Amino acid sequence: MTQHVAKPQDYWPQGTVYGALLNFQQEWQIKVPQMPEAPYKGAPKAPMLFIKTANTFTPSGGRIALPSLVAEVDIGANLAWIFGQDAQPVACVLVNDVSIPHESYYRPPVKFKCVDGFLGVGATARGLEQVSTDAVVLTVKLNGQLVQRLNYADTVRKSQALLADISEFMTFQEGDVLLLGSDCLPNGKRPRAKAGDVVEISADGFETLVNSFAGGAV
Amino acid sequence: MKHARIAWAGAIHEAVESDGELLLTRSPWAGKRLKFDEVVWLPPLAPVAQARTILALGLNYADHAKELAFKAPEEPLVFVKGEASLIGHKAITRRPQGVTHMHYECELAVVMGRTAKHVKKENALDYVGGYTVANDYAIRDYLENWYRPNFRVKNRDTCTPIGPWLVDAKDIHDAYGNPMNLSLQTTVNGKVTQSGHTRDMIFDVPTLIEYFSNFMTLQPGDLILTGTPDGVVNCEVGDVIVTSIEGVGDLTNTLGQ
């Protein structure tokens, strides 16, 4: 298997990294039958968010360790906005929001998403003027094989609508990051990685984000 | 020692409590004494190099869990907050127009002092740098059952007052044995509305540090807000809310619009 060596990381998150849940139409539609039922008792109204804490940041080329007793993790390919002054996005970057697979979205996913190393971060950010956010297409490769394509034209809230709805209750600070959403596969699950796998997330004009996965984190 | 971070005379300063006054500790004002009402109080937290991790507990007091009609959790119910939601002592928190139920939550806040990974309960308190008081406001109108408590409820601008003091962990441990031996109280416009005690936490501070550090590395300056006991009531614009923890401090906040 190809050995990926970490290159110098030009970009590193400076602020709080937020992410949006259920922002692709496909996953939303798959969840629709569950929405009226307990525990949800209704479709989400405001954007549903989570935070990837600083202990999760892993550079592109870096290895992500699975906790012991966890055989596989979800791959969450995301385009992310990086905020400048005035609470407006100024750049974007590719990230891999790694999670321990979980079915329920009832409680905050801290123990599934805030595990050490669980956010692969692209090595370089691109100025937003070069990117048409709602038209970006991401491809996800697992050990060189294409496993997923995401098109940000297929989101529930387009990027500016998402920003507007979040800004109703909180203000992004300079350096903060917002993951614009990851999608599931048609079967409702996300692509998964296990120890020994290499995951590549790419998009036109972006440097590919590469992370390998290893077992036996202590 | 009780540490504060304040704005005064056009700049931000570190200070300590001294005989009922603030004593500035660094050049060019080292030795300068100020009254408490002469300054603007900031969150008593030194800046950190990466995003500060702020963990907050829900339903961590048996009585509060009962009050909210939930079964006590079998593992900590935790959510994460962004640092931008923090404001200092004597500040103003915005109450949105039209909401019907906005309540304070008086919480003991643990400030980590050392990098913590795979820490055991038995020595977890060695990793605490200090304690402060947090008021983790919630607006129940916005509760949804997706990643509950959701960010619209718990990550609002201005809705997490914290302070006034960062009290050295050693002082609390020397005076009270450990942080599980402190009374809590909230007053609204001078009337006591919430009384509790940290011994009634479902998951105590050492247990929480062990639980979190088992899967996430905590850094100095990271925060754990440990949940609130029974007695949360709706507050209105103009109300003055004082959340107090024995030996740690009295955190004053006013609701505004």
Q: What is the CATH number of the domain that holds A95?
A: 3.90.850.10
In 3D space, the residue among A48, A46, A29 whose CA is nearest the CA of residue A154 turns out to be A29
Q: What is the CATH number of the domain that holds B224?
A: 3.90.850.10
A13 closest CB neighbour out of B51, B152, B156: B51
**Residues B121, B77: Cα–Cα separation, whole Å:** 18
Is any Cβ of chain B less than 8 angstroms from the Cβ of A35? Answer: no
Q: Are residues B165 and B136 in the same domain?
A: yes
Give domain status of residue A128, yes or no: yes
Show the DSSP H helices in B45-185 as ranges.
62-67, 151-154, 169-176
Q: Are residues B105 and B87 in the same domain?
A: yes
How many Å is the Cα radius of gyration of chain A? 16
pLDDT per position as a tens digit, A91-100: 999 999 999 9
- Substitution target in A37, A41, A53, A114 with the highest count of B β-carbons within 10 Å is A53
Residues of chain B neighbouring A97 (CB-CB closer than 8 A):
none
| Residues ≥6 apart with Cβ < 8 Å to B161 | B86, B87, B88, B89, B91, B93, B134, B135, B137, B243, B251, B253
Q: Are residues B181 and B230 in the same domain?
A: yes
**Residues B215, A74: Cα–Cα separation, whole Å:** 17
Looking at residue A3, what is its pLDDT? 47
ipTM of the complex in this document: 0.95
Give domain status of residue A134, yes or no: yes
In this predicted structure, the answer to whether residue A2 has a pLDDT above a threshold of 90 is: no
Strand A126-127 with A89-97, pairing: antiparallel
Q: Are residues B11 and B54 in the same domain?
A: no
**Residues A79, B146: Cα–Cα separation, whole Å:** 22
What is the mean pLDDT of the segment spanning B134-159? Answer: 97
In this predicted structure, the answer to whether residue B124 has a pLDDT above a threshold of 50 is: yes
Q: Give the closest-approach CA distance of A170 to chain B in angstroms.
A: 5
Q: Are residues B122 and B17 in the same domain?
A: no
In this predicted structure, the answer to whether residue A1 has a pLDDT above a threshold of 70 is: no
What is the mean pLDDT of the segment spanning A8-25? Answer: 96
> Does an H or E element contain A30, and which?
helix A25-31
Q: Give the closest-approach CA distance of A99 to chain B in angstroms.
A: 12
Looking at residue B74, what is its pLDDT? 85
Please give the mean pLDDT across all residues of chain B. Answer: 96
Is any Cβ of chain B less than 8 angstroms from the Cβ of A8? Answer: no
Give domain status of residue A120, yes or no: yes
Q: Are residues B24 and B61 in the same domain?
A: no
Which residues 172-211 of chain B have a CB within 8 Å of chain A? Answer: none
Which residues 86-105 of chain A have a CB within 8 Å of chain B? Answer: 105
Q: Which strands sit side by side in the sheet containing B249-256, from one edge to the other? A: B91-94, B249-256, B240-245, B183-188, B191-197
pLDDT per position as a tens digit, A27-67: 999 999 999 999 999 999 999 999 999 999 999 999 999 99
Q: Give the closest-approach CA distance of A143 to chain B in angstroms.
A: 27
Q: What residues are paired with A142 via a beta bridge?
A: A145, A199
Q: Is the Cβ–Cβ distance between B19 and B36 less than 8 Å?
A: no
Is any Cβ of chain A less than 8 angstroms from the Cβ of B115? Answer: no
Give domain status of residue A4, yes or no: no
**Residues B163, B172: Cα–Cα separation, whole Å:** 15
Q: Do B156 and A111 touch (CB under 8 A)?
A: no
pLDDT per position as a tens digit, B223-257: 999 999 999 999 999 999 999 999 999 999 999 99
pLDDT per position as a tens digit, A57-89: 999 999 999 999 999 999 999 999 999 999 999
Q: Are residues B20 and B53 in the same domain?
A: no
Provide the token pair at A92: 């974007």
Q: Are residues B184 and B243 in the same domain?
A: yes
Q: Region of B133 please: left (phi>0), alpha (psi -120 to 50) or beta.
A: beta
Looking at residue A8, what is its pLDDT? 76
Q: How many CB atoms lie within 10 A of CB B183?
A: 13
Domain range spanning residue B4? Answer: 1-42
The total number of structural domains in chain A stands at 1
Give domain status of residue A2, yes or no: no
Q: What does pTM read for this prediction?
A: 0.96
Q: What is the CATH number of the domain that holds B29?
A: 2.30.30.370
Q: Are residues B97 and B119 in the same domain?
A: yes
In this predicted structure, the answer to whether residue A155 has a pLDDT above a threshold of 90 is: yes
Give domain status of residue A103, yes or no: yes
Tell how many helices (H) and how many strands (E) occur in chain B. 4, 19
Give the pLDDT band of residue A218 (cuts 50, 70, 90): low
Q: Are residues B140 and B30 in the same domain?
A: no
A170 closest CB neighbour out of B157, B217, B219: B157
Q: Are residues B215 and B114 in the same domain?
A: yes
Domain range spanning residue A57? Answer: 17-217
Q: Do B51 and A16 touch (CB under 8 A)?
A: yes
What is the mean pLDDT of the segment spanning A6-33? Answer: 93
The total number of structural domains in chain B stands at 2
Give domain status of residue A6, yes or no: no
pLDDT per position as a tens digit, B41-79: 999 999 999 999 999 999 999 876 565 556 667 899 999
Q: Are residues B154 and B69 in the same domain?
A: yes
> Does an H or E element contain A26, and which?
helix A25-31
In this predicted structure, the answer to whether residue A5 has a pLDDT above a threshold of 90 is: no
**Which DSSP letter does residue B35 get?**
-
What is the mean pLDDT of the segment spanning A192-203? Answer: 98
Give domain status of residue A196, yes or no: yes
What is the mean pLDDT of the segment spanning B21-48? Answer: 97
